[in-house]
Amino acid sequence: MMRTREIVTACGLAFVMALAVPAAGVAQSAESNWTAPRTADGHPDLQRVCAHNSASGRWSGVA
């Protein structure tokens, strides 16, 4: 019984690792020549980065 459990565990681990290898290749190939937008003086443009979507009614001015 214990030997069967070890074989099933090893097969499951091999299956998960086989799926992870192509996924790692896709993540690396998705990289492109994208650069962050810059302001006129060369600093990163951080406009629209911080969205306060989690503000409660108390803090957003709604009673």
CB 38 within 8 A of CB 45: yes
- The first and second tokens of residue 56, run together, are 């409660």
- Render pLDDT for 15-63 as a digit per residue (tens, 0 to 9): 988 877 766 555 555 556 778 889 899 998 887 666 666 655 555 555 5
pLDDT reported for residue 19: 79
pLDDT reported for residue 34: 74
Say if residue 10's pLDDT is above 90: yes
The pTM for the full model equals 0.35
CB 11 within 8 A of CB 17: no
Question: How far is residue 26's CA from residue 21's CA, in Å, rounded to a whole number?
Answer: 9
Q: Tokens 């459990």 belong to which residue? A: 5
pLDDT reported for residue 37: 86
Question: How far is residue 45's CA from residue 42's CA, in Å, rounded to a whole number?
Answer: 9
